[in-house]
Amino acid sequence: MNRPSSATLRLLIPALSLAVLLVAVFYLQPRAMSYIGLNLLFNLAVPIALATIAQMLIMSVNDLDLSMGTFVSFTACVAATYLQSSPLIGILILAAAIAVYAVIGIVIYIRDLPSIVVTLGMSFVWGGLAVLLLPAPGGTAPDWARWLMTSKPPLVPIAIVASVVIALISHLIVMRSSFGVLIRGVGGNQRSLQRAGWSVVSLRAAAYALAGLFAVLAGVALVGLTTSADANIALRYTLLSIAGVILGGGEFTGGRVSPVGAVIGALTLTLAGSFLSFLRISPDWQIGAQGAILVIVLALRLLLNRVEKREKQS
């Protein structure tokens, strides 16, 4: 009998945590076991999942993006101010922001700078630009974004459908395409790629640009849900995106990431926060609950790693 691989077990842990949390929700609130209930619980899953995939791409090249939350807030402000009234200008601004992301990846590599320091500095830049665009909460979501995020497909809420699509597309890009293999190779064995003639600079720029694209989509999706924006609308997404990647089986080094696991991790964190909000519990406790879930899953992964090492030694 074939035993499941370590990669499969790493994916089963976040899936199990999501299932256990969902069962607990249904037990405490049976009315949540409905179309409307699921829609309320996973209402913010799509932007969080997109931001988590963006963070995962950065982590796949052994970097960490501490500006994710402010960047998503900035793109949300652009979407709420320009995409509705002047779509061409809005698209150009967002394209320029993605290009800046690619440049950041190049600068970090060429100058051998800590990604944490550079992205922390950029968080102030994105935050300042967001305040300039929207000094006070306001703006209007594009009609197409609002329609897309509030549509009601049959049987399953749009948040779950969109999350499955995000997981599938990101899995095909990162795990099944040659581009994804190269991106993960930058984090796993950079010297081998260089010896094979690949440009690490170009690959890192591509990874950062793709991360910027997913973050832009996260901002647009968030505005489609909230119908407006402000400069602080997604500040929590920095920590949520990192936690989602780790919760889903990703690691900080080695190019070890799991797109499907990252989306499951984002869904788990969303469910934890939504359920506590559903019970009218303070946001401080919501953060604590999300942190507790992350600690438990990391403890299970540590136990799994020890079991794997013992099996290899024996």
Mean pLDDT per 10-residue section of the chain, whose length is 314 residues: 56 81 83 85 92 96 94 96 91 96 95 93 96 91 92 90 95 93 88 87 95 96 93 91 88 84 90 72 69 74 72 66
- Please check whether residue 1 lies inside any domain of the structure: no
- Please check whether residue 237 lies inside any domain of the structure: yes
Domains held by the chain: number: 1
- What pLDDT sits at residue 179? 92
- What pLDDT sits at residue 284? 67
- Please check whether residue 152 lies inside any domain of the structure: yes
- What pLDDT sits at residue 1? 45
How many whole angstroms separate alpha carbon 75 and alpha carbon 55? 15
- Please check whether residue 199 lies inside any domain of the structure: yes
How many whole angstroms separate alpha carbon 84 and alpha carbon 88? 10
- What pLDDT sits at residue 286? 67
- The DSSP bridge partners found for residue 138 are 229
- Please check whether residue 53 lies inside any domain of the structure: yes
Does this model's pTM top 0.75? My answer is yes
- Please check whether residue 230 lies inside any domain of the structure: yes
HEC-encoded secondary structure of the chain = CCCCCHHHHHHHHHHHHHHHHHHHHHHHCHHHCCHHHHHHHCCCHHHHHHHHHHHHHHHCCCCCCCCHHHHHHHHHHHHHHCCCCCHHHHHHHHHHHHHHHHHHHHHHHHCCCCHHHHHHHHHHHHHHHHHHHCCCCECCCCHHHHHHHHCCCCCCCHHHHHHHHHHHHHHHHHHHCHHHHHHHHHHHCHHHHHHCCCCHHHHHHHHHHHHHHHHHHHHHHHHHHHCCECCCCCCCHHHHHHHHHHHCCCCCCCCCCCHHHHHHHHHHHHHHHHHHHHCCCCHHHHHHHHHHHHHHHHHHHHHHHHHHHHHHHC
Question: Which domain range does residue 285 map to?
Answer: 6-305
The enclosing domain of 237 has a CATH number of 1.10.3470
Name the token pair of 178: 């040659």
- Please check whether residue 16 lies inside any domain of the structure: yes
- Please check whether residue 23 lies inside any domain of the structure: yes
